Amino acid sequence: MKQRVELTLERIISLADEMPSQDEIEKAHTFATIKVLIDWLREANRDFNNDNGYASEKLINIEWSAAAIAGLDDGNGHDEDLHLSWLRGEVDSAGSEQALGAMEQ
């Protein structure tokens, strides 16, 4: 399960990396895909990771930055590049031992 979570996090980064060059509709589609992946990660966290609070917080932040990049949230006035940087950091943290420690391979 842990490997699947790690691959899903990698996919989120690759999708988010494409967003700045996309038009408004493409960004919305990409955000929807990222949202589905985040929802699956939330289920995996709940069911296989003892509902780790640190991981939950990281997923909230990933979703917020992805929404801001997609233009679906004002992002507190921060630009796409900063949100993309934050998203990448949050994904790294979501894949850390602190976030996934209770999850088995």
Domain segments of the chain: what residues? 2-100
- Write down the pLDDT at residue 54: 97
Could you give the CA distance from residue 61 to residue 46 in angstroms, rounded to a whole number? 17
Q: What is the pTM of this model?
A: 0.93
- Write down the pLDDT at residue 70: 97
Tens digit of each residue's pLDDT, the chain (105 residues): 999 999 999 999 999 999 999 999 999 999 999 999 999 999 999 999 999 999 999 999 999 999 999 999 998 888 999 999 999 999 999 999 999 988 876
Is there a contact between 31 and 80 (Cβ–Cβ < 8 Å)?
A: no
